[in-house]
Amino acid sequence: MSESRGVRVSQWRSLSTEEGPAGAHGPPGRVETADDCIASEVPVAFTFNRVSHVVMMASPCDLEDFAVGFSVTEGLVGSTDDIENVRVIPRTGGIELAMTINEAWFDRLATQRRNMAGRTGCGLCGAENIEQALRRPQPVGRALETSHTAMQNAVQALENHQPLQARTGAAHGAAWCSPQGDILALREDIGRHNALDKLIGGLLRSGSDPAAGFALVSSRASYEMVLKTAAAGMELILAVSAPTSLAVEFAERSGVTLVGFARPGRHNVYTFPERIMEWG
């Protein structure tokens, strides 16, 4: 194992094959062994007041942020004030995130016990019916103003802020950006939902106001990604890949500006374009 700046990877030997004309990369059909950096993936069990709630597959870094962000965006607590304690406990084969929450929220949680295991992040996390799955937070505010140029600045800077992705090619990133397009915080994980939960949890734990910036994610914009953005109070989510139909519908209902297909030089705005000023 090697670790730096919260990034954990494993060294493995791999067999690489390469095809091409002789002289470009050596003889055609070359086979060789090399060291690969493989992203760590471990089961992470969430327990509340010593009662098991869910098991997620995740990258074993920024776990306190994960605990707080997941709890808030899933509506398991009303705010960070309802979380009394978070402990990261190594277990055989995985990690436990042991949280203590106030009794009122724990009683509420006990009425909707849900089981889910073995998934790499899940925004719905075992909801028992359609009403639970399609829950809606309070509509977001209308204070954010940014620009097409600012969003492009953030998109072009994203790659340089993802050390785990650079080393393994297996991680999603979620960034918090200023209205001017500066990346102020970023979290990575093998799961896109996990990365966003970690980002939101980190912001809340540091006392930052998520609504003061916008989210940039290296994945598609699914319903649950927009849901988590809205639950944190962020008014805009910028996704490198495509949105889903339900994501667009939810963004319209919750007041979130949804931007997809964000690549250098282009992006598509699907909802509430009035938050975005012209190029400049």
Q: Which residues are known to be catalytic? A: 122
Angle formed at CA 261 by CA 259 and CA 265, multiple of 5 degrees: 100
Report the alpha-carbon distance of residue 257 to residue 271 in Å, rounded: 5
Both tokens of 113, joined, read 């016990």
Question: Quick one: which of 268, 4, 32 has its CA closest to 152?
Answer: 268
Burial class (CB in 10 A: 0-12, 13-18, 19+), 249: middle
Question: Quick one: which of 48, 51, 68 has its CA closest to 194?
Answer: 68
Tokens 């598509």 belong to 268
